[in-house]
Amino acid sequence: MSQKLLLRALSGEVLPRPPVWLMRQAGRYLPEYRAVRAGGGSFLDLCYSPELAAEVTLQPIRRFGFDASILFSDILVIPDAMGQGVRFEENVGPILSPRIEKYSDLAILNTEKAVKRLAPVYETVRLLRKQLPSDVCLIGFAGAPWTVATYMIAGAGSRDQMAARLWAYRDPEGFAALINILVRVTAEYLIGQVRAGVEVLQIFDTWAGSLPEPEFRRWCIAPTKEIIRLVHQEFPDMPVIGFPKGAGPLYQDYSIETGVAGISVDPSMALKFVRDHLQSSVTVQGNLDPLLLVAGGAAMLREAERILSLMNNGPFIFNLGHGIVPETPPENVGELVKFIKQWQS
């Protein structure tokens, strides 16, 4: 049996204290990250530079001693690798051009090009496996097809994902063609990460909560299920964590139908529902509000204690309900990790 806490939790084991890692644990809140970023060119240049990407992945492990490390990259490397230009503008976010707005636009996407373009990411994984402490688990990831598609269609982030939702309503067959491309390329990308050495995968569906139930089933559950099926064809025992942010009660159907080993829940989820309806069949990950990590102090620790107390009778991974925000004081992260590692039920 593996001694890595994250793998033990994802196998269904109930541990004396849960493994802890945080989404976006490598990033702008750390001064050492900002120092690397200042000399690393564009954000995507950093993602495609194995030595630098490995360095920033390792920074929070050195500083805080997390039980898991997540590959430093971005969900939008997939469209970028296929030939849709992606750039990140300060205080704006990602800009994608040209937009993929209709079926005929799919012709610009070159799936064969993606294989070569993503090679540096696999090299980052190989470097990390050599450098990570032996008890730290390495997580790979990708964006879910629905969420990635919303950026490709709008050409940027959006509050309501209107452009993608309208295409899906007006031309479901054409929209399905884009989703199917993303399923295939995403599965290949995740399989490549596993071959290079990742031990766990996470699929981020950040905008899952914007869809009504029928569309959620078609565009979130079904594509994720197919990606996991393809991964498990080659690596049957590879644990996958799903994160359909904002799914509400549909978290339950997602966790049952997709084949995930773990389900990451956002801060809006009532933990008694999570405990009673999810944790009996899947490992739960979550769900501290990232702003409590900014606030720190008694409020942060009080909520961490509540989460730990509610979830300690089933398989559990302590995490945030979404990623660390740049305003987070690093000392608060250190205090939280220390608290969790010392906690006993």
pLDDT of 1: 54
How many CA within 13 A on the CB side of residue 62? Answer: 12
Pick the closest to residue 318 from 289, 343, 340 (CA basis). Answer: 340
pLDDT of 90: 82
Is-contact 68 337, C-beta < 8 A? Answer: no
Q: Distance between CA 64 and CA 318 in Å, rounded?
A: 14
Q: Distance between CA 36 and CA 15 in Å, rounded?
A: 36
Residue recorded with tokens 């490995």: 54
Is-contact 64 21, C-beta < 8 A? Answer: no
Prior bond of 172 cis (ω within 30°): no
Pick the closest to residue 153 from 170, 138, 136 (CA basis). Answer: 170
> 136: which DSSP letter?
P
Per residue of the chain (345 residues), what is the pLDDT tens digit? 578 999 999 999 999 999 999 999 999 999 999 999 998 789 999 999 999 999 999 999 999 999 999 999 999 999 999 999 999 998 889 999 999 999 999 999 999 989 889 999 999 999 999 999 999 999 999 999 999 999 999 999 998 999 999 999 999 999 999 999 999 999 999 999 999 999 999 999 999 999 999 999 999 999 999 999 999 999 999 999 999 999 999 999 999 999 999 999 999 999 999 999 999 999 999 999 999 999 999 999 999 999 999 999 999 999 999 999 999 999 999 999 999 999 976
Q: What domains lie within the chain, and their CATH numbers?
A: 5-342 (3.20.20.210)
pLDDT of 246: 97
Residue 37, Cα to own-chain centre: how many angstroms? Answer: 21
pLDDT of 170: 98
Q: Distance between CA 36 and CA 188 in Å, rounded?
A: 29
pLDDT of 345: 64
Residue 282, Cα to own-chain centre: how many angstroms? Answer: 17
Residues with Cβ < 8 Å from 218, sequence gap 6 or more? Answer: 172
Q: Which residues pair with 137 in a beta bridge?
A: 68
Q: Report which secondary-structure segment, H or E, holds 291.
A: helix 290-295
Which residue numbers are catalytic?
A: 24, 28, 37, 74, 151
